[in-house]
Structure 1
C-alpha cells in the first residue's frame, strides 16, 4: 500500500474557498480500482500547507488514476480558484506504507 501526499500552499484569504472545493469535490477518484481513502488535512499553523492524502493499493493503481479520463475531469475543476489563492507550488510525495497500527 502507498500514500500520496499533495502539499498545497494556500493563501489564508482563500482557505474557505479551497476547503469548499474539496467538500464538494467531483468524487471521480472514489470508484477507481486500487483507491482506498482520501483525507484533506487543514494546517494547524498559519503558513503551513494543506495536505491532500490519498491511500492506494499500489503505485500502479495511483499511476492508472493519474492517466485516466476521470483524473482529467476531476482536476478540471481545480481552475476555479485564481492563481493568487496559492502561495507556492504544490509538492507531491509518494510513500510506501511499511507498518500500519490498524492492521496489527
Structure 2
C-alpha cells in the first residue's frame, strides 16, 4: 500500500472554506485504478493549523499514473483559483509505503 499526505497550513479563518472545497471536489480520483481512499483531516490541536489530505493507493505506480492522467489535471484545475490568504505556508507533500496495515 502507498499513502500520500499533503499538509496544508491554513489560516483558521478559512478552515471551513478549505474543507468545503474538498467536500465539493469532483471525485475524479475515486474511479482511478489502484485508488483506495481519500481523507481530509482537520487538526485537533489549537496550536496546529495543518490540515492533511491523505490518499491511499494499492501501489506507488497507481499513484504516479494518476498524477499523469487527464482526471488529475481536471481535479486540480481549481487549485490555482484558491485564494492565497487561506494559506499560512506552502503545502508539503509526504509519501509513504506501508510496512504493516491492520485494515487489510
> TM bucket by the smaller chain?
over 0.9
Secondary structure of 1:87's aligned partner: strand
Inter-partner Cα distance in structure 1 for 2:103 and 2:87:
34
Shift of 1:18: 0.4
Measured on the aligned residues, the alpha-carbon RMSD in Å equals 1.1
TM-score, normalization by structure 1: 0.93
**2:43–2:50 Cα contact (<8 Å) kept:** yes
**Structure 1 segments (4+ residues) deviating >2 Å:** none
Number of aligned residue pairs: 103
- Deviation track 1:41-70 (CA, whole Å, cap 9, x = no partner) reads 001123331000100011111011111110
- Residues 12 and 49 in structure 2, CA contact (< 8 A), matched pair in contact too: no
Q: CA deviation at 1:77?
A: 1.7
Alpha carbons 2:3, 2:97 under 8 Å: kept: yes
- Which residue of structure 1 lines up, in the alignment, with residue 62 of structure 2? 61
Q: Please, which runs of 5 or more residues in structure 2 have no aligned partner?
A: none
**Aligned twin of 1:52:** 53
Q: Which runs of 5+ in 1 are unaligned?
A: none
Please identify which structure carries the higher strand content: 2
The DSSP-based 3-state class of the residue aligned with 1:13 is: helix
Q: Which residue of 1 aligns with 2:10?
A: 10
